[in-house]
Amino acid sequence: MAIATISPAEALRRLQAGAVLVDVRESHERATGFATGALGIARVELEADPGSAIPELGSEVLLICQSGGRSMKAAQALEAAGYTNLASVEGGTTRWLAEGLPVTRPDIDADFYDRYSRHLRLPEVGEAGQRKLEAARVAMVGAGGLGSPAAYYLAAAGIGTIVLADDDVVDRSNLQRQILHTDARIGMAKVESARAALSALNPRLTIEGFAERITADNVERLIAGADVVIDGADNFPVRYLLNDACVKLGKPLVYGAVHRFEGQVSVYDAGRHRGQAPCYRCLFPEPPPPEAAPNCVEAGVLGVLPGVIGLLQATEAIKLILGIGEPLRGRLLNFDALAMRFRETRLRPDQDCVVCAPGREFPGYIDYARFCSGT
């Protein structure tokens, strides 16, 4: 038997006569306004358990969505479940509004629903996931080549708090790749320049800036409350320090590095997965000598390369916070910009690692700057 389609006006008449009207749109869609008197139950939830909302199979049930497509599919699913008195509202909420029928507009945070509307449409994110992002705290060391794109996209994505540490000031040579900064802010502390750029993009964001060099004395203060830590410093002393601190405190570390035309990304999560996931020192217990690892100043770097790697770091951070997808845990992703090729290397935990071996007590921090310089 074909399911009837009815006009919004007819739906209102039947609603007032005792029918049940169900708005099957997602919660973020209903937040902008819905037919007064309608029950708000997302289609997937209604189809999974219709009896909890409509216990009687013979109840008169009217379905409405945005334009009529989803409501008809929901009606068909209810018919298959045994409901016998169904109708779909033709033209949906769009037509209901156009005809001036009564609408309920909740007292909502309109900026939230407008700003993150494209995330809210993703079932893997949705409103619950977006609230997770807004409640999240990401600690980032470095507001330079890697930190710039990572911070920009984390801010745009709705991360609630970014803790940013960098003791440097903006220099003209930075602007070729460090897109957080501008020519007008040359000489300004990078954390303050970053604060200006990120706040302009998303004023909902909280930025905690630390214009100081990260050391063993302050690293735990920086990352203690973080859900995810991002290494955007791209130097060996910070890399080893963050690795050890994240193992000790049980924080996932999103690693990134760039050199000339090549970059790397991984997630080191040994602090939460001892014996199952590696840390950075499982691979490199000790750093190479300084002459074997020149920095960007000495070797140069293609300006767009940190953008690619930083965006991948931001992607991994968002996935970790939402608990979706497959993180780069135990995998090292290598990118060759000249060949435009990605290559993945599997990483295994070192059961004798000096930092993350199961059951091993934390050995304490060392003087990483001295350790890495060989002095």
In the predicted model, is pLDDT for residue 116 greater than 90?
yes
> Tell me: the pLDDT tens digits for 61-103?
999 999 999 999 999 999 999 999 999 999 999 999 999 999 9
> Tell me: the pLDDT tens digits for 299-352?
789 999 999 999 999 999 999 999 999 999 999 999 999 999 999 999 999 999
Q: Are residues 151 and 229 in the same domain?
A: yes
Whether 115 maps to a domain, the answer reads no
Whether 218 maps to a domain, the answer reads yes
Active site residues: 296
For the chain, the distance separating the N- and C-terminal CA atoms, rounded to the nearest angstrom, is: 84
Whether 121 maps to a domain, the answer reads no
pLDDT grade for 169, boundaries at 50, 70 and 90: very high
Whether 113 maps to a domain, the answer reads no
pLDDT grade for 1, boundaries at 50, 70 and 90: low
What is residue 53's three-state secondary structure? helix
Contact 64, 39 (CB under 8 A): no
Contact 163, 210 (CB under 8 A): yes
Whether 264 maps to a domain, the answer reads yes
Q: Are residues 89 and 141 in the same domain?
A: no
Whether 123 maps to a domain, the answer reads no
Q: Are residues 321 and 369 in the same domain?
A: yes
Whether 17 maps to a domain, the answer reads yes
Average pLDDT over residues 7-36: 94
What's the number of domains the chain is made of?
Answer: 2
Q: Are residues 222 and 271 in the same domain?
A: yes
Q: Are residues 96 and 157 in the same domain?
A: no
Q: Are residues 269 and 325 in the same domain?
A: yes
According to the model, what pLDDT value does residue 367 have?
75
According to the model, what pLDDT value does residue 215 have?
93
According to the model, what pLDDT value does residue 374 have?
54
According to the model, what pLDDT value does residue 31 have?
86
Q: Are residues 97 and 207 in the same domain?
A: no
Q: Are residues 101 and 140 in the same domain?
A: no
CATH of the domain at 194: 3.40.50.720
pTM, to two decimals: 0.84
Residue ranges making up the domain that contains 281 = 129-373
